[in-house]
């Protein structure tokens, strides 16, 4: 095991990030399982909510990154390629109205 820190590319894709998380944590994540990992995701979502509500705006970026990392972790454990799934769901526009600029009524989700 090397302790040499490697810098990731400045602009990496969603797929690159999912692979990075898998390379770093996969064994631990599989051992913990999706349910245990989901609880960590919820904790991070709570921390993000607190940062949004609070006065510590400097914490927003790292909290968003943590939430995304834990989401990637669950996808890895469950064998989901998030790039593929995001493309299938949103690649042709809003899932509700099909437009790239959503025109769904505000009462509808999204």
Full set of structural domains in the chain with CATH: 14-79 (1.10.287.1080)
Average pLDDT, the chain: 91
The average pLDDT across 49-71 equals 91
Given a cut of 80, whether residue 15 has pLDDT beyond it is yes
pTM of the model: 0.83
pLDDT of residue 110: 66
Instruction: Find the angle CA(81)-CA(92)-CA(22) to the nearest 5 degrees.
Output: 15
Assign 56 a pLDDT band (cuts: 50, 70, 90): confident
Percentage of residues in the chain having pLDDT higher than 70: 92
Query: Which helix (H) or strand (E) covers residue 27, if one does?
Result: helix 14-53
């Amino acid at each position: 095991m090397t302790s040499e820190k490697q810098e990731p590319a400045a602009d990496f894709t969603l797929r690159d990030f999912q692979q990075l998380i898998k390379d770093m944590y996969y064994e631990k994540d599989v051992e913990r399982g999706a349910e245990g990992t989901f609880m960590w995701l919820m904790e991070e979502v709570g921390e993000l909510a607190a940062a949004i509500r609070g006065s510590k705006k400097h914490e927003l970026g790292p909290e968003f990154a943590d939430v995304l990392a834990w989401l990637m972790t669950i996808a890895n454990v469950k064998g989901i390629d998030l790039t593929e799934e995001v493309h299938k769901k949103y690649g042709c526009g809003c899932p509700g109205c099909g437009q790239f600029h959503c025109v769904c009524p505000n009462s509808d989700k999204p």
